[in-house]
Amino acid sequence: MDVQNSNIESLIVGGIEMAINDNVEIVSQSNEELYGAVGKILEIKEDDFGMDFRILTREGLELWIDSQDVVAY
């Protein structure tokens, strides 16, 4: 898989289509400070481990997160 591929505009996660500009809630258990944060999808990319979202949270934090660690908001 091409880790530089950022041309993906939408992705189906858990049976729900998510796209750039959609709002999501972070449900990752690996970081208590991020759990429950709400943000907007800025970019979707595919890497060797699956799909990742670049998210901008309402608090202004920008991060990459595995697509399985968010739900539609």
Q: How far apart are alpha carbons 51 and 44 in whole angstroms?
A: 7
Residue 3 lies in a domain: no
Which of 4-18, 25-39, 41-55, 57-71 has the least mean pLDDT? Answer: 4-18
**Nearest Cα to Cα of residue 55 among 24, 29, 27, 11:** 24
Q: How far apart are alpha carbons 39 and 60 in whole angstroms?
A: 9
Domains: count for the chain: 1
Which helix (H) or strand (E) segment holds residue 63: the answer is: strand 62-66
Residue 65 lies in a domain: yes
Whichever domain contains 15, its CATH number is 2.30.30.30
Residue 4 lies in a domain: no
- Domain with 64, as residue range(s), is 10-72
Residue 5 lies in a domain: no
Residue 24 lies in a domain: yes
Mean pLDDT, rounded, for 61-71 = 94
pLDDT band at 22 (very low <50, low <70, confident <90, very high): very high
Residue 2 lies in a domain: no
Backbone angles phi, psi at 8, to 5 degrees: -80, 130
